[in-house]
Chain A
Amino acid sequence: MIRFEDVSFRYGSDQWVLRDLDLSIEEGELVVIVGPTGSGKTTMLKMIDGLVPHFTGGEMLGDVVVDSRSIRGTSPIEMAETVGYVGQDPTATFVTDRVEDEVAYAMENLGVSPTAMRRRVEDALDLMSLHELRERPLRTLSGGQRQRVAIAAVLAASPRILVLDEPTSALDPGAAEEVLSSLTRLVHDVGMTVVVAEHRLERVLPFADQIVLLGPDARAISGSPRSIMEGSPLVPPIVDLGRVAGWDPLPVTVREARRRSGDLADRLSTVTPPSPSLITGEVIASVDDLSVTYGGPWVLHSVSLEVRAGSITALMGRNGSGKSTLLGALAGMIPADRGSVSVDRLDPSTLKATERISRVGLVPQDPGLLLYCQHVGVECTTADSEHHLAEGTTAAAVERITADLDHDRHPKDLSEGQRLSLALGVVLAAEPLLVLLDEPTRGLDYDAKRALCIELRRLAAEGRAVFLATHDVELVAMVADRAVVLAGGEVIADGIARDVVRHTPAFAPQVAKVLAPQSWLTAAEVATALSGVES
């Protein structure tokens, strides 16, 4: 169905993004493209529908043949009948303002007859469970709903190939599962060919027929999930666990791992899993009976909590449950309608800018927003002079997080991970007591995530408090000591991270699911425990 024939590609510069890519994707397959950030996943996806190179320019060798048409001679507009493309940020691709109109848009362009169009819109709405939302204006939808609308909008045009770029990266675990199960339904019931790029392998691996692994040298290997996972540097926790336990073949689903976990559980039965207690440092920030409305219903409703020095707290909850609002309130950005917020015993919203940023620093969901200089180097020196720091302080803070940051590059040209590091470095330059991060692992690969974890632990060890909102349960398992779960703007769980995540199926990390009722959270923990048993 799709054939990459010795494809090499670069965007004008000297570095190849893809090198000698030779690959074929059969009809009815679900293919997952895996690779570190900046490895060309998006480029490869866009080639399938001709957006690369027709829309971006660049130099391309070889050919991509889609449904026996070469993309060299076919524009994306003509390809629209065959290929449906859903980009990383669905909101940026919406053309109309209502769910139903958006779903019908592509078909109107393709000239589908009104009766057929009517039927297909209904089908697409049903398939993506959007029936209830058909009349809603798009901007009132939640992240998961928007993603589903974007998929429905390309599905309705009944393409034979569906291409999705990180469809679940902005979604909470529940919504992600919803989207992925709709995709599997498309593959199994409709026989559609689906190509997905995704960082969080744990979410997509169970559904994949073929994995394409893009390496750092711009070359790719492909094969069945199991065979690729054998040698892959990027693996989900479950494969990590399989490696630690020495299982062969490696498990790719929780079910497989669970069925073989008997002996591992026996070996571990003599070891007590780590059971930390809550950190009892000094209270750095406290939220007391906080309620926030934006002139409508409660977004936060009598939330009370304390954040202590040296702790890493994870804030979890569905899309739209008030996580970002709570972070905003802690950073003094959002006024309280009732109750109070204090950081270092002062109300952050009344502080002067310089006083505020030395107490609390927030890295927003899109870290690029904090950066607006033309070069990385200028960004660092500006931050230094702003906070009256010795020259090079910010650069050093950034250096600690990522070593190889080219100081002459524009912040917009950096990879997600590098941008996050830079923004974090800029925020940390002011040495805030409380560090807030909103969804920090969006778009990060496992390596970048590990680097982030090390940095966060270092911050906590320095006596700062880290408070992060995230959907990424594996990150919580790796780094957090305390977890707070929000639902509908209210705190529904608050306690030791280990206990909170294990007791909520949606938030449980893979290793915990495999080894329940023993309370292990990560493969690293299991590895340490095993080495203790064996020695």
Chain B
Amino acid sequence: MRRDNRPHGVAWWIWALGLAAGALRTTNPVLLLVLGTVAIMVAVARRSGAPWGGSIATFIRVALIVMALRVVLQVVFGQQIPGHVIVTLPSVPLPAWAEGVSIGGPVTVEGLLTALVGGLRLGVVLICFGAANSLASPREVLRSLPGALHEVAVAITVALCFAPEIIAAVLRVRSARRLRGRPTRGLAGLRGIAVPVLEDALEHSLQLASSMGARGFGRRPAVVAPRRERLAIVGVVVGSLMVLIGGYGMLASSSSVPAAAWVGILGAVMATGGVALSGRRSARTRYRPAPFGIRSLLCALSGWTAVVVMSVVASVAPGTITWSAYPLTWPSLPAGVLVGIAAGLLPLLVAPRPSAVRIGEPIGAMAVTS
């Protein structure tokens, strides 16, 4: 998949993170819907043929569940929000210390809409991650991490490969239990499945660890310059924290965006420096690293136009990108922001259509055979 001119895996993740940041920046349901649509369109049109290519569908389903759950929780347990009452549910009086939580009571249009938009925000963020997953496997991204972070990357990679492994193990054990005519549901079923699956998982991890050891994982030369080493670690930790703070500042509507941006940029520089410094002593080499070319750059940046435009618009006309149920009005449609979000579709022009790769072996076959 790195042979053709597809954008770099990291580019896809930056793109998706940009869209997700956009979704967190706004509470305007129309903008959120447009963001989600952009992510889904690109993911469906440019996803890779590999097994993880279909993960966008799963994420969309999860997003819908999250939204539904959010609304249901609001109706049943949520704080009672005044407004236009649709229906009044029977309510249970709660003692005074449970303030803020209520069971039942009047359901208002405002309350429902607030919950729905809150759920929509979470859902769009999830969809952005789903899109990133479909477009580039997380492993592809982890492979590109600098040498200094290699051990961390491998740990995450192994954890990631563990999830499908567990699903396969559960299916195997379930079908074996059905063969013996034992329950596969309920509490008895859960215990009967969980124990062998965990045993399996433990055994698998040990095998994997020994295989990695036997193949030279963890080899590194002795530390040459301990002081430089320490400096590098401080750089990475402090830098990462600053990126975090800066990112939060940019997304939180109350703080000053330019100041937050500066903190973030400075942090990024420090972290990169630290990584580069400690990466020098890594004895590893990398097989056919993917180039990060102009296409990748355009892809990565296009995801962030939405946030940038939103930040600019917010400083000029704060009301346009936020929306609240009080008073009950239609959300506004700022044309500039819409264009900014639509720029997220740029990968459709820049990235080539993926070549069709046929993948066989459905998971059902594995359940019995392996």
Min CB distance A14 to B, Å, is 24
| Alpha-carbon separation in the docked complex, A372 to B198 (Å) | 12
Which residues in B have their C-beta under 8 angstroms from that of A372?
A: 173, 192, 195-196
The yes or no answer to A77 lying at the interface (CB within 8 A) is yes
- Per-position binary interface string of chain B over residues 184-216, scored 1 when its CB falls under 8 Å from any chain A CB and 0 otherwise: 000000001001100100001001111111111
Interface SS majority for chain B: helix
Q: Are A77 and B368 in contact (CB under 8 A)?
A: no
Q: Are B365 and A324 in contact (CB under 8 A)?
A: yes
| Tally of chain B residues near chain A (CB < 8 A) | 56
The yes or no answer to A297 lying at the interface (CB within 8 A) is yes
Q: Are A114 and B287 in contact (CB under 8 A)?
A: yes
Nearest 8 CB-CB pairings of A with B: A294-B362, A353-B181, A93-B211, A104-B287, A80-B216, A109-B216, A369-B176, A324-B369
Question: 7 A-B contacts, Cβ less than 8 Å apart?
Answer: A55-B209, A76-B213, A87-B207, A106-B215, A107-B285, A109-B218, A427-B179
Given A135-B1, A296-B362, list of 6 further CB < 8 A pairs? A80-B219, A97-B139, A100-B288, A108-B285, A353-B178, A357-B180
Which residues in B have their C-beta under 8 angstroms from that of A89?
A: 207
The yes or no answer to B283 lying at the interface (CB within 8 A) is yes
What range describes how many residues of A lie at the interface?
A: 35 or more
**Cβ-closest chain B residue relative to A50:** B214
The B334-370 residues at the A interface (CB cut-off 8 A) are 357, 359-365, 368-370
The yes or no answer to B121 lying at the interface (CB within 8 A) is no
The yes or no answer to A426 lying at the interface (CB within 8 A) is yes
Q: Are A362 and B211 in contact (CB under 8 A)?
A: no
Which residues in A have their C-beta under 8 angstroms from that of B285?
A: 107-108, 111-114, 117
Most chain-B CB neighbours within 10 Å: which of A121, A154, A362, A426? A362
The A83-139 residues at the B interface (CB cut-off 8 A) are 83, 85, 87, 89, 91-98, 100-101, 104-114, 117-118, 121, 135, 137, 139
Min CB distance B184 to A, Å, is 9
Known: A111-B283, A372-B195. A139 touches B214 (CB 8 A): no
Q: Are B137 and A101 in contact (CB under 8 A)?
A: no
Pick from A176-184, A218-226, A325-333 the stretch touching chain B: A325-333
Known: A51-B214, A365-B370, A386-B181. A117 touches B175 (CB 8 A): no
Min CB distance B50 to A, Å, is 5
Min CB distance A117 to B, Å, is 5
**Cβ-closest chain A residue relative to B361:** A140
Min CB distance B25 to A, Å, is 34
Which residues in B have their C-beta under 8 angstroms from that of A105?
A: 215
Q: Are B207 and A114 in contact (CB under 8 A)?
A: no
Most chain-B CB neighbours within 10 Å: which of A112, A294, A356? A294
- Per-position binary interface string of chain A over residues 370-394, scored 1 when its CB falls under 8 Å from any chain B CB and 0 otherwise: 1010000000000100100000000
Which residues in B have their C-beta under 8 angstroms from that of A94?
A: 211
| Alpha-carbon separation in the docked complex, A98 to B3 (Å) | 13
The A336-369 residues at the B interface (CB cut-off 8 A) are 353-354, 356-357, 361-362, 364-366, 369
Q: Are B50 and A137 in contact (CB under 8 A)?
A: yes
The B135-160 residues at the A interface (CB cut-off 8 A) are 137, 139, 143, 154, 157-158
Which residues in A have their C-beta under 8 angstroms from that of B179?
A: 331, 333, 357, 361-362, 364, 370, 427
Which residues in B have their C-beta under 8 angstroms from that of A427?
A: 179-180
The yes or no answer to B161 lying at the interface (CB within 8 A) is yes
Which residues in B have their C-beta under 8 angstroms from that of A111?
A: 219, 283-285
Min CB distance A426 to B, Å, is 7
Contact of B214 among A85, A96, A297 (CB under 8 A): A85
Most chain-A CB neighbours within 10 Å: which of B172, B175, B208, B214? B214
| Alpha-carbon separation in the docked complex, A383 to B36 (Å) | 53
Q: Are A91 and B370 in contact (CB under 8 A)?
A: yes
Q: Are B215 and A412 in contact (CB under 8 A)?
A: no
The yes or no answer to A235 lying at the interface (CB within 8 A) is no
Which residues in B have their C-beta under 8 angstroms from that of A157?
A: 215-216
Q: Are B175 and A333 in contact (CB under 8 A)?
A: yes
| Alpha-carbon separation in the docked complex, A357 to B202 (Å) | 30
Contact of A77 among B213, B286, B357 (CB under 8 A): B213
